[in-house]
Structure 1
Amino acid sequence: MSNKIRLGILGGGGDSLIGILHRVASSMYDKYQIVGGVFNPNWEDNIGFAKQIGLPTNRIYKDFDTLIEEELKLPESERIQVVSILTPNFLHFPMANKLLENGFHVICEKPMTTTYEEAKILNQTLKKAQTVFAVTYTYTGYPMVRQMREMILNGELGTIQKVDAQYYQGWINPIIHDKEKRSSTWRLNPEKSGISCCIGDIGTHAFDMLEFVSGVKIESVLADLNYLYSDNKMDIDGTVLLRCSKNVKGVICSSQIATGEENSFIVKVYGDKAGLKWEQENPNYLYLMEDGKPLRVLKPGHSYNSELSLDGTKLPPGHPEGIFDSMGNIYKGVAKAINKEPYNHGEFPTIIDGVRGMNFIEKAVESHQKGNVWVDIENVD
């Protein structure tokens, strides 16, 4: 029997981008073996996809409940250990909650749930289950994002004064301006996506990233969201002002109607000694800015980087690493936790990140609906 962690996958079949991202990431460090799952609710598509990617079909199940029922019949040494949830948002909570109740480890796409209340329930379930839970805020796995975090933790920026994140995409333009399309896509359906599209999909990445790298906690938000059309119930653009711990202030700008933008995620943190800037579309460059000194560019793989950054670097300097590597680093961290090996707490986002992310989404929408007022983010442990 292989000593690899036995992985099951829910969703992510067909031409799903997120599906191939997770499958490649899980294989990257030879820590996991995909042994079963439910890739599609349609049986023919489900079993056909399993054959397409070369999986034995004896553990491809007709639905989620059958997966749990049949896997629990197997000896513990054979059953699936961890399940990745790659389904539409509204299925995240019921699936994750039942998996935890039955002793499985969980890797969950974001947003973790569709409501903050569900997120808190999930956190309580995890406390009882005592298993491993990760939320795939993928960008935290980039080596130079991890370097950014470590430099800030080590005080190289001095006292943090300002945090800033911009996440711009333009993909929803062909959908939002067509009444029939915007009424039929699940992304703009509150019953399937929750109360937010843009903030829930990409704004939450910015929220988690700023807390991850800066070490400050976002305590209050003031949001101004854009729905563009009166019949559209989901935000597709928004600006959120931030009040953080340690008297730090900041801003998150996110948009899915930024025409021509692909995946422009830019993170900036400024201290009284220096500033750092990272851009997702050029992830190998971390810019160090200091008053009166030339701009310095830090790159992955060099000995001047932190242990956490180097642990997530697989190639020699000068060889690009990308989003597959970033997700792979998260899977690697989860594997260490499942195997009870020592790991850095920056190696994968936990359920607390997911809970805070859901709180942020709801508070941003609440702030907008109340006339753009400040509302507090709750502290969760």
Structure 2
Amino acid sequence: MATGRIKLGMLGGGEGAFIGIAHRIAAYMGEKYELVGGAFDVDYQRGMAFAETLELNQSRVYPDVQSLIEKENELPADQRMEVVSIVTPNFLHFPMAKSLLEGGFHVICEKPMTMTVAEAEELDHLVSQTGKQFCLTHTYTGYPMVRQMKSMIASGQIGEIQRVDVQYYQGWINPVIHDTEKRKSVWRLDPAKSGISCCMGDIGLHAFNLAEYVTGSEIDQVLADLNYLYDDNTLDVDGTVLIRMGQAKGVIRSSQIATGEENNLTIQVYGKTGALKWQQEQPTVLTWLTEDQPAQILKPGNSYNSKLAMDSTKMAPGHPEGIFDAMGNLYLGLAKAIRNLPVQSGEYPTVTDGLRGMKFIEKVVLSHREDNIWITI
């Protein structure tokens, strides 16, 4: 069995790619991984130049995923990459993940996992068939106080869930959506690269995943009303989705044209005896409400938190943890699985979460197209 630091490769994430930086920091944080190479850019020479800035061995920089798989598998087992992170535009996720799994690699993948449900089902089957680990980076599930929220709901501290309300507002598309030429240059608004949805497929998917993660329940049905703004814009940039989770009901509100908003993700879960609220822009605060007591503020690093929350906390109380820390927790969870160590439920999202997410996107778009009707996921 392999020991030592896990040898990591990366597809995409080259010069100027914020998401690549986030993944590299996340991997380094727990001191469990070593980045050894990858295919960082569609332009091989640019990728080589970028790898040089990271002081990587140039022989481990490849022009494409197939070259990476072929050459890495020629190396001795104790030297080759064990896991590869996919941090490319959406349309490349499935073919790359499929090739990597078939080539014998564990996979870390950005969301959405694929372009279609059929592709997601194929990856789900491949993971079972190959026995390889698959981590989908729904990063917000890595925050300590989100994990505390999950633990409190699971232990019944707010009672039976009655309502779930998730909001995810950004404003970054607003400056480009109103200009025909500008919006043609944004890959997230291109169906060939983004899939059938922009807003819901990008950030609405995070809201969906977070709702299911913290409650431990699946969303059964959705009724969606999406906003495209212009007839010649084929992908949604805003929308509202009513949700049903067994007896509980709720709403997912998601927008990328919420003028002035940065990354306003908020989740509120209301139970029979209490409620919990969390905001991504204030990630160290979990608010606990009950009917007969003042609101309580819970923060990470304190002994009253659950084991999952405490294991996910790397700073002393009062020192904020952020997005890199949250993603780092996903990498740490996967590292345990790769090394066959015990993994707690909820330590990292899996291929199953990816399949659930693709079903959500397809049903939301279908609900809107069918004149806002309820659709079973």
Does residue 305 of structure 1 match 2:292?
A: no
> 1:342-370 CA distances to partner (integer Å, 9 max, x unpaired)?
01021000111000000000000000000
> 1:237-258 CA distances to partner (integer Å, 9 max, x unpaired)?
000000112x111100000000
1:198 aligns with 199
1:64 aligns with 65
Whole-angstrom distance in 1 between the partners of 2:51 and 2:184: 32
2:181 aligns with 180
Whole-angstrom distance in 1 between the partners of 2:126 and 2:30: 30
1:151 aligns with 152
Give the superposition deviation at 1:71: 0.8
Whole-angstrom distance in 2 between the partners of 1:181 and 1:358: 28
SS in 2 for 1:335: helix
SS in 1 for 2:294: coil
Give the superposition deviation at 1:3: 1.1
1:10 aligns with 11
1:294 aligns with 294
Aligned residue runs from structure 1 range 341-356, under 5 A: 341-356=341-356
1:249 aligns with 249
2:77 aligns with 76
SS in 2 for 1:119: helix
Whole-angstrom distance in 2 between the partners of 1:314 and 1:243: 36
Aligned residue runs from structure 1 range 224-235, under 5 A: 224-235=225-236
Aligned residue runs from structure 1 range 295-334, under 5 A: 295-334=295-334
Give the superposition deviation at 1:184: 2.4
1:367 aligns with 367
One-letter identity of the residue aligned with 2:204:
G
SS in 2 for 1:366: helix
1:37 aligns with 38
SS in 1 for 2:204: helix
Unmatched tracts of structure 2, length 5 or more:
none
SS in 1 for 2:284: coil
Aligned residue runs from structure 1 range 63-142, under 5 A: 63-142=64-143
Give the superposition deviation at 1:227: 0.2
Aligned residue runs from structure 1 range 163-178, under 5 A: 163-178=164-179
Whole-angstrom distance in 1 between the partners of 2:338 and 2:122: 22
SS in 2 for 1:93: helix
Whole-angstrom distance in 2 between the partners of 1:73 and 1:216: 44
CA RMSD of aligned residues (A): 0.9
**Dislocated runs of 4+, deviation >6 Å:** none
> 1:127-183 CA distances to partner (integer Å, 9 max, x unpaired)?
111110010000000000000000000000111111110000000011111100112
> 1:184-241 CA distances to partner (integer Å, 9 max, x unpaired)?
2211010100000000000000000000001121011000000000000000000000
Whole-angstrom distance in 1 between the partners of 2:186 and 2:216: 37
Whole-angstrom distance in 2 between the partners of 1:347 and 1:216: 17
One-letter identity of the residue aligned with 1:263:
N
Does residue 283 of structure 1 match 2:283?
A: yes
One-letter identity of the residue aligned with 1:93:
F
Whole-angstrom distance in 1 between the partners of 2:77 and 2:53: 28
Give the superposition deviation at 1:2: 7.6
State the identity as a percent: 58
Unmatched tracts of structure 1, length 5 or more:
none
Q: Structure 1 length as normaliser, TM-score?
A: 0.98
SS in 2 for 1:315: coil
Whole-angstrom distance in 1 between the partners of 2:315 and 2:42: 38
Q: Structure 2 length as normaliser, TM-score?
A: 0.99
Give the superposition deviation at 1:292: 2.3
Aligned residue runs from structure 1 range 206-217, under 5 A: 206-217=207-218
Compared CA separation, residues 243 and 113, structure 1 to 2 (3 A): same
Whole-angstrom distance in 1 between the partners of 2:355 and 2:185: 28
SS in 1 for 2:80: coil
Whole-angstrom distance in 1 between the partners of 2:186 and 2:302: 45
Whole-angstrom distance in 2 between the partners of 1:239 and 1:356: 19
> 1:300-338 CA distances to partner (integer Å, 9 max, x unpaired)?
000000000010101110001100100000000000000
Whole-angstrom distance in 1 between the partners of 2:100 and 2:49: 25
SS in 2 for 1:284: strand
2:357 aligns with 357
SS in 2 for 1:317: coil
Whole-angstrom distance in 2 between the partners of 1:266 and 1:97: 33
Whole-angstrom distance in 2 between the partners of 1:373 and 1:315: 46
